Amino acid sequence: MSEQWSEGYFTDVAYTYGYYRELSPVFQRFCLVVNGIAPPDTEQPAYCELGFGQGVSINIHAAAGSGKFVGNDFNPEHAAYAAGLASKAGSGALLTDDSFEQMLGRTDLPQFDYIGLHGIWSWVSKENQKFIVEFAQRKLKPGGVLYVSYNCFPGWAPYIPLRQAFALHDRHTDRSKPAADRVNAALEFTEKMFAAKPRYIQTAAGVQDRLVKLKEQSRNYLAHEYFNREWNTMYFTDVVDAMVPAKLNYAASCNPVDFVDAVNLTAEQVDFLKTIDNPVFREQIRDYMVNQQFRKDLYVRGARKLKRGERTDLLLDMRFALVVPVESVAYKVKMSMGEVQLREDIYKPVVEALATGNHQPKTLRQIVTALAATTISLDAIVQAVVVLAGNGWVSPCQSEAAAKAAKPACDKLNAEIAEQNLYSAEVAVWASPVTGGAVTVQRFSQLFMLARWRKHTDPALFAAEVLRANGEMVLKDGKALQTAEENLAHLREQYESFVAKHLPALKSLGVA
Ligand SMILES: C[S@@+](CC[C@H](N)C(=O)[O-])C[C@H]1O[C@@H](n2cnc3c(N)ncnc32)[C@H](O)[C@@H]1O
């Protein structure tokens, strides 16, 4: 049963353990600078995350960053888990179960350089949206950054009736059942409704595929995403208007792939958008061009435009790391306009330059120097880094000094996450002092690393024993392996591949 404090928010099951790099101050700084906007001039920010869920993101950022980290989530189960992680890491993050309204009444909070909220805006009431804006109005410094993500039009338009069907089914059937059963019942009901071929599915392109995909997703995620009383999908311009009381201007998308027109828009679309002078109106019409469904936006209180040379210098001094094995970088990427072929004559040399020295992070200046013998221009290198970062293969990094300071808390947080991994695979990221954010470390890799820390002579055997104790199957090519020998042989192969391909990057990222 939902409690009274829930204000219609779905609290019957806890949320998932996701990490969102868009909440990272280092990542936000990169997005702002690429877009020519001055970021807060500090590597020790006062930072607040509103509605942190299980708190994986804020814990990673607090451990991997320097500064004062504060956050809230009114679900006490979430806050207890998040505060527990912070205490293990010794990061000093102050994580409470205050509601947004209660955050407004707090007198112990600093003025913030960054306030972030991910997956909140569309799922809370208009009243709570006002509390959030009022919080930013009172607590964000001039020049400070607000990150907000939300479901938006026009991309969501065809699916709103789908969500409504789930919500109505939930309202008019037995709500005493466990949350996962209610979600399953609503999915089944909608599937049967679709089998009757309602005209809605003929006009709402892709809605049947969407239902199929939803069935594969975590029930906890679906409960929070689709079963809340509140569900406010908005246009970009509506959110721009909502931010006015906090003196916030739209500054940039926090999704780097959005920055490069060449991989998002046709020449015709680019030409059309050029006819629109007002930047907010243009951005809104761009959402029509790409059929935007979800926005990740950065607002700044008094955004200052960087001078051209200032932007270039900030970018040249910024450090970047290749966070995946070289082989993982694909030169064909899926974008809203379909599959896009990246120019390998530009992207490959950039990736190779980033991979040298076991993926040690490099300033853009160093990458430019490494490519000096080629004809690749600075603009092309920046564009490549932006697209590579957008796809999660490259990450902007913080300074060496900040990385050094963050190492002890990252080590402690990662050790705690690894220990938790003995029993479940919920948290799939570790904190990197180098990037100031998270790197993905999959279940097997976490177990291999834990075995190495514990000086276990046979990390594959250690992983096999943990998985067996948890009753978990090892899959190979989608099929469960049956015997202990098969399991161990497969884990040995995985371990070899981990050592050869993943360990070098993890070492350079300060997590191994
Ligand atoms: C969809 S989840 C997103 C969680 C997290 N930001 C993430 O992306 O993983 C929304 C979160 O907002 C919290 N929440 C909803 N209403 C709230 C309120 N009025 N005050 C504080 N937290 C709230 C919920 O408990 C939930 O954890």
**Stated pTM of the model:** 0.94
pLDDT at 165: 95
**Which two tokens mark 245?**
């009381």
- The 10s digit of each residue's pLDDT in 112-155 is 999 999 999 999 999 999 999 999 999 999 999 999 999 999 99
Residues of the chain with confidence (pLDDT) below 50: 1-2
Q: Are the C-beta atoms of residues 55 and 79 closer than 8 Å to each other?
A: yes
DSSP state of 327: G
Q: Length of the chain in residues, anyone?
A: 512
Q: Would residue 310 count as lying in a domain?
A: no
Q: How far is the CA of 254 from the centre of ligand 1 (A)?
A: 20
Q: Where are the alpha helices (DSSP H) in 204-278?
A: 207-215, 219-226, 236-242, 267-274
Residues 249 and 362 in one domain: no
66 domain-assigned = yes
- The strands making up 140-151's β-sheet, listed across from edge to edge, are 94-96, 68-72, 46-50, 112-117, 140-151, 294-301, 248-253
Residue 15 Cβ inside 6 Å of ligand 1? The answer reads: yes
d(CA 158, CA 276): 26
Q: How far apart are the first and last CA of the chain?
A: 43
Atom in ligand 1 nearest the alpha carbon of residue 120 = 10
Q: Please check whether residue 395 is in contact with residue 354, taking contact to mean a CB–CB distance below 8 angstroms.
A: no
Query: Do 297 and 337 have their domain in common?
Result: no
pLDDT value of residue 437: 98
412 shares a domain with 355: no
Among 58, 73, 97, 220, residue to substitute to test ligand 1 (most atoms within 8 Å of Cβ): 73
Substitution site in 4, 120, 232 for ligand 1 pocket (most atoms within 8 Å of beta carbon):
120
CB 74 within 8 A of CB 99: yes
Strands 294-301 and 248-253: antiparallel
Residue whose C-alpha is closest to residue 104's, from 71, 139, 74, 80: 139
Residues 217 and 238 both lie in one domain:
no
Q: What is the distance, to the nearest Å, from the Cα of residue 310 to the centroid of all Cα atoms in its chain? A: 28
pLDDT for the residue numbered 421: 93
| DSSP codes of every residue in 121-183 | GGGS-HHHHHHHHHHHHHHEEEEEEEEEEEEBTTTTGGGHHHHHHHHHHHHTS-TTS-HHHHH
Q: Are 68 and 148 in a shared domain?
A: yes
10 domain-assigned: no
Residues 289 and 195 in one domain: no
Residue 224 CA: which ligand 1 atom is closest?
Answer: 1
Domain assignment of residue 1, yes or no: no
| Centre of ligand 1 from the C-alpha of residue 471, in Å | 32
Report the pLDDT value the prediction gives residue 477, as an integer from 0 to 100.
87
pLDDT at residue 138, as a whole number: 98
Q: Which residues contact 392 (CB under 8 A, 6 or more apart)?
A: 21, 323, 324
169-221 per-position pLDDT tens digit: 999 998 888 889 999 999 999 999 999 999 999 999 899 999 999 999 999 88
Same domain, 138 and 263: yes
Distance from residue 67's CA to the centre of ligand 1 (Å): 23
Q: Domain span at residue 64?
A: 17-152+232-301
Q: Considering Cα of 409, then 415, then 419, then 420, what sign does the dihedral take?
A: positive
CA of 73 relative to ligand 1 center, distance in Å = 6
Q: What percent of the chain has pLDDT over 70?
A: 98
- Residue 144 sits in a domain whose CATH number is 3.40.50.150
Quote the Cα angle for 425-427-433, to 5°. 135
| CA atoms 331, 333, 339, 345: torsion sign | negative
Quickly tell me which residue has 């807060």 as its tokens. 40
Query: Which candidate, 79, 76, 139, places its Cα nearest to that of 103?
Result: 139
Task: Estimate to the nearest angstrom the gap between the alpha carbon of 103 and the chain centroid.
Answer: 24
Q: Is 100 in the pocket of ligand 1 (CB under 6 A)?
A: yes
Per-residue confidence (pLDDT) for residue 368, from 0 to 100: 98
Q: Are residues 267 and 215 in the same domain?
A: no
Q: Percentage of the chain with pLDDT > 90?
A: 88
Residues 289 and 329 in one domain: no
**Residue 131 CB less than 6 A away from ligand 1:** no
| pLDDT for res 1 | 36
- Please give the backbone phi and psi of residue 306, each rounded to the nearest 5 degrees, phi first: -75, 145
Q: What is the amino acid identity at position 233? A: T
Report the DSSP beta bridge partners of residue 145: 114, 300
For residues 57 and 144, state if they share a domain: yes
Number of folded domains that form the chain: 4
